[in-house]
């Protein structure tokens, strides 16, 4: 999908559909007033008849209105200006694009108003781009007869006055973020028999070929053995699929500048291993690589933006399967850091691959390291499916990520990482055990990772509750690509 910005009057713009807002009690936005006047009060007549009341996120399509150049007018309810907030604004935009995608219109022009919304045009613009691409996304590519692709191909964001000069740059970055989300969703939704560690590695190689600024390297199991990654390799022992360690190095500025390293958990299917998961909903464990998918999506996005920043993406990827060679509860392994781990639960495997990848990350002399993982069910209990869990050993970094989450509407919540929780990981037989019991499960998982990140600024995003949806809307969400890209944009802007 393509996006553009222009100045114009809604009644004279030729397109498949022009979109204007109606506030509560039928009050027309400025664009709607112009359309109403040019269309011989056709909108006012519908308001008077009760066809459009301005109820938040309501929509009404008008066809071939005399005096209007566009083939259709889409009226969108904006609700009461006093009640407009982030949640309702996003709902309005999603409803707008649901209605647009339901029409045959190939192009649409939107007059976005922030009257009373409490958000600037740039914020609305970013959310509109994401809503547009989400509406066009299809997850049926593996069906024998996929559904019809979205008809809407081009969206113009129009203004009655000359748009601010920086909005074109914001639009470009928003589009890159949305397309990065699409890649993350595509990878996340693929089944485990297709999206294997080798497949992920190939996608990373393809990304490197597409973008000259990205250098992709794939390490094999023999390479990991030489590096002493006993923790990561313990997880893949029960699988016939070979593990991979993928690195994607993006250099958008002087290579002397320290990179920001993103580490994404890439368990392409998680049975739990010997500590086998219940059968119900186990199919959703194909989503256990959504951290890895978000790293690939983010790397694509920043390359499309040509962001002036150095970023390294690291993806440790393997399957967690049970067989005669699989790691058993009670086994002790040695991590790349030299620390030994007693594995009491083989289903707490994400931290076992991440800890070696986090140790490996130090070789890049990073400014900052952020890992992203569908790590704990406990995080879902704590935060539900609204916010990702955020843990950090650096308060300033945590605040930067929280700010980026708010700006992108891909929010996180700051969780504690106090040393008081470390004792739950004590082991009688090794340096640590890989679980800390039922209490504070997401915190003890982060505390485990913290033992491998003492030499640099680090944050951990637990996306178990936000990376995918269950039920009738089952599918990957593409989160936290918006949060990560906004954080990286903010960092680049500081340079």
In this structure, what token pair is assigned to residue 318?
Answer: 């393997």
Give pairs for 163-167: CB < 8 Å, separation 24+: 163/5, 163/6, 163/7, 164/121, 166/122, 167/5, 167/121, 167/122, 167/125
CB-based contacts of 332: which residues, under 8 Å, 6+ apart?
340, 341, 342, 343, 429, 430
**Residues tagged active-site:** 277, 351
* Structural contact between residues 477 and 387, judged by C-beta atoms closer than 8 angstroms: no
- As a whole number of angstroms, the distance between CA 286 and CA 281 comes to 10
* Structural contact between residues 307 and 218, judged by C-beta atoms closer than 8 angstroms: no
Tell me, rounded to whole angstroms, the distance of Cα 443 from its chain centroid: 22
In this structure, what token pair is assigned to residue 389?
Answer: 């869990």
Length of the chain: 495
Q: How far is CA 102 from CA 95, 152, 201, in A?
A: 11, 9, 37
* Structural contact between residues 246 and 200, judged by C-beta atoms closer than 8 angstroms: yes
Question: Which neighbouring-strand residues pair with 319?
Answer: 269
Q: Which stretches of 95-252 are assigned E, i.e. beta strand?
A: 107-111, 154-159, 214-219, 244-251
* Structural contact between residues 150 and 107, judged by C-beta atoms closer than 8 angstroms: no
Question: Which neighbouring-strand residues pair with 155?
Answer: 3, 108
CA angle 237, 241, 247 (to 5 degrees): 95
Question: Between helices 441-450 and 350-361, what is the axis angle to 10°?
Answer: 30
Q: What 8-state DSSP symbol labels residue 143? A: S
Q: What is the largest CA-CA distance in the chain?
A: 83
- What is the SS3 assignment for 343? strand
Q: Please, what's the b/e burial string for 254-275 (b: 16 or more CB within 10 A of its CB; e: otherwise)?
A: eeeeebbbbbbbbbbbbbbbbb
């Amino acid at each position: 999908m393509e996006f553009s910005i222009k100045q114009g009057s809604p009644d004279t713009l030729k397109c498949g559909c022009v979109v204007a807002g109606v506030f509560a009690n039928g009050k027309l936005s400025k664009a709607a007033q112009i359309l109403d006047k040019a269309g011989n009060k056709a909108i006012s007549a519908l308001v008077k008849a009760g066809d459009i009341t301005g109820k938040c996120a309501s929509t009404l399509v008008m066809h071939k209105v005399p005096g209007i150049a566009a083939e259709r007018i889409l009226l969108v309810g904006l609700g009461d200006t006093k009640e407009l907030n982030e949640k309702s604004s996003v709902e309005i935009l999603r409803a707008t694009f649901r209605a647009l995608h339901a029409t045959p219109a190939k192009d649409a022009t939107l007059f976005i108003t922030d009257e009373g919304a409490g958000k600037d045009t740039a914020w609305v613009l970013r959310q509109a781009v994401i809503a547009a691409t989400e509406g066009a996304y299809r997850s049926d590519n593996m069906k024998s007869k996929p559904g019809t692709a979205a008809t809407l191909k081009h969206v113009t964001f129009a203004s009655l006055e000359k748009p601010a000069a920086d909005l074109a740059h914001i639009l470009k970055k928003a589009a890159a973020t949305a397309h990065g989300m699409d890649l993350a969703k595509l990878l996340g939704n693929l089944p485990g028999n297709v999206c294997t560690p080798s497949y992920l590695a190939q996608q990373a190689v393809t990304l490197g070929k597409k973008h000259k600024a990205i250098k992709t390297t794939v390490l094999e199991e023999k390479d990991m053995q030489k590096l002493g990654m006993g923790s990561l390799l313990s997880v893949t022992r029960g699988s016939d699929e070979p593990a991979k360690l993928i690195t994607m190095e993006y250099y958008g500025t002087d290579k002397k500048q320290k990179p920001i390293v993103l580490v994404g958990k890439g368990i392409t299917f998680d049975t739990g291993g010997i500590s086998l998961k219940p059968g119900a909903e186990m199919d959703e464990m194909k989503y256990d690589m959504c951290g890895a998918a978000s790293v690939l999506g983010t790397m694509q996005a920043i390359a499309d933006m040509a962001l002036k920043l150095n970023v390294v993406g690291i993806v440790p990827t393997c399957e967690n399967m049970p067989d005669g060679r699989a790691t058993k509860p009670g086994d002790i392994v040695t991590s790349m850091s030299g620390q030994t781990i007693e594995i009491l639960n083989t289903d707490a495997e994400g931290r076992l691959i991440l800890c070696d990848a986090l140790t490996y990350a130090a070789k890049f002399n990073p400014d900052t390291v952020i890992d992203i993982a569908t790590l704990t069910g406990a995080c879902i209990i704590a935060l539900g499916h609204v916010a990702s869990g955020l843990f950090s050993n650096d308060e300033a970094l945590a605040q930067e990520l929280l700010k980026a989450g708010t700006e992108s509407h891909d929010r996180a919540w700051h969780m504690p990482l106090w040393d008081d929780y470390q004792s739950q990981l004590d082991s009688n037989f090794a340096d640590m055990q890989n679980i800390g019991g039922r209490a504070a499960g997401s915190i003890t998982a982060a505390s485990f990772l913290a033992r491998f990140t003492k030499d640099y600024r680090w944050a951990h995003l637990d996306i178990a509750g936000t990376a995918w949806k269950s039920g009738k809307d089952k599918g990957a969400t593409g989160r936290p690509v918006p949060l990560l890209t906004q954080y990286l944009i903010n960092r680049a802007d500081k340079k």
